[in-house]
Amino acid sequence: MNKPRTILHVDMNAFFASVEQQVNPELRGKPIAVVGGGGRTVITTSSYEARAKGVKTGMAIWEGKRVCPELIIVAGDNRKYSYTSGKINEIFRDFTPEVEAFSIDESWLDVTHSLGIFGSAETIAYRIKARIKHSFGITCSVGIAPNKLLAKLASDMQKPDGLTIIAPEKVAQVLEHMPINVLCGIGRKMVRHLNMMSIYTCGELGRCDEARLTRKFGIVGARLKRMGQGVDESPVIPFGEEDEVKSVGHSRTLDQDIDDPAEIRRFLLQLSEMVGSRARKYNVSGKTIHLYVRYADFFSSWGKQTTLKSYISRSDDIYQAALGILNTVELEQPVRLLGISLSNLQTQSEQLPLFIEERKKLEATKAMDAVNLRFGDMVVTYGSLLPGKENAGSHVIPPSWKPDGIKSVSVK
């Protein structure tokens, strides 16, 4: 028998925008949009003032300005968000050690064993909200429910600054008329498929014949039915106990489409350095390299991967492998986006190369990493990157970024 659990899901409201408004009081109460670096960027997050005017995540800057002419554009700074996120997660851990960061602005807390100390989940939620508000001036929405799926759903029900409880005995009632797309894991395509089966609400999904779902969706089918019933046994996985990192990758949309091979290679080297330095920071090497290209028309793209005989983490090795893939194809159009990722990872063993030349390369790489770690990425980099340095520093900040050190890497 599974013991009943009490799970909180905390979702920071308009996180990046809220942090910016706190850091710079002049931005408070105003419509602002946080964007990435680079020429062709989109809005990552916008303040509630901006949302009220119709500004949405994913809009191009000009689009945001069209619906909200007074929109203030703020270039995102990942370090601020990462730092704040880390501090907020420390607050969570004052209430339970079982805290799982889902993304930079969302966490689950299993407070089942903390109820005796703090009284109730509701009390914990109010105290957390108060502390975050007091320390950082920002609000969050909290959901309380018997599992992660429902806690996340609950936190979505009231924004901003909400607190929603789905008591175990209310689950069926809450889900009955809830549209299926509110469930985390059911996206656009799945909604379309389910709608075609005349399933629109969680209630309908939960009552659907399992065999019918399994025929259509394979092993996902059984899980879908349970989701519709609000059943989710997945545990809250605390810091340090997550799965190992499985891939390390970077991709970048170029400021202009390029077709000059030398320029493409230069960008590839830059990406290789970004991937390599991060892999080395995590202390992993990998033997599968994946190259991704999106063409100028935006819609056509391809990805190719290759698996090497040995594990690599040096930027130059990554570059050579990526170049090897690129050389097997004839580019059909100018390139809009390039991406490289390293997978099939293992923890790096500290092994000195046999040959003196290799050792020198290793030492050089280490020295470069040490400087970058201290003074920020891309301060020291390969000579051929220098003409394009303005690109190198332009980090777009994906909300999927986790505070440093959250992902653990363990021996395979």
Smallest gap from residue 140 Cβ to DNA (A): 12
> Taking CB under 7 A as the rule, does residue 213 contact DNA?
no
**Active-site residue (options: 106, 332, 350, 358):** 106
Q: Scanning residues 246 to 305, which ones bind DNA (CB under 7 A)?
A: 246-253, 274, 278, 287-288, 298-299, 302-305
Judged by beta carbon, residue 18 or residue 114, the one nearer DNA is: 18
> Taking CB under 7 A as the rule, does residue 200 contact DNA?
no
* Burial status of residue 243 (CB atoms within 10 A of its CB: 0-12, 13-18, 19 or more): exposed
In the numeric block, the tokens 């300005």 are attached to 65
From 133-141, 164-172, 245-253, 369-377, span contacting DNA (CB under 7 A) = 245-253
> Taking CB under 7 A as the rule, does residue 390 contact DNA?
no
Among 49, 98, 100, 105, binds DNA (CB under 7 A): 105
In angstroms, rounded to a whole number, what is the distance separating the alpha carbons of residues 161 and 141? Answer: 5
In angstroms, rounded to a whole number, what is the distance separating the alpha carbons of residues 389 and 374? Answer: 18
> Taking CB under 7 A as the rule, does residue 337 contact DNA?
yes
In angstroms, rounded to a whole number, what is the distance separating the alpha carbons of residues 394 and 371? Answer: 19
In the sheet that holds 335-347, the strands lie side by side as: 247-258, 335-347, 284-295, 301-312
Judged by beta carbon, residue 339 or residue 403, the one nearer DNA is: 339
Is residue 408 within 8 A of residue 244, CB to CB? The reply is: yes
Smallest gap from residue 27 Cβ to DNA (A): 20
Is residue 74 within 8 A of residue 32, CB to CB? The reply is: yes
Residue 358 burial (CB count, 10 A): 12
> Taking CB under 7 A as the rule, does residue 245 contact DNA?
yes
Is residue 229 within 8 A of residue 147, CB to CB? The reply is: no
In angstroms, rounded to a whole number, what is the distance separating the alpha carbons of residues 319 and 313? Answer: 10
Q: Scanning residues 138 to 167, which ones bind DNA (CB under 7 A)?
A: 152
- Catalytic, 106? Answer yes
Q: Which residues bind DNA (CB under 7 A)?
A: 36, 38-42, 44, 57-58, 60-62, 102-103, 105-106, 152, 183-191, 218-220, 243, 245-253, 274, 278, 287-288, 298-299, 302-307, 337, 339, 341, 343-344, 396, 398-401
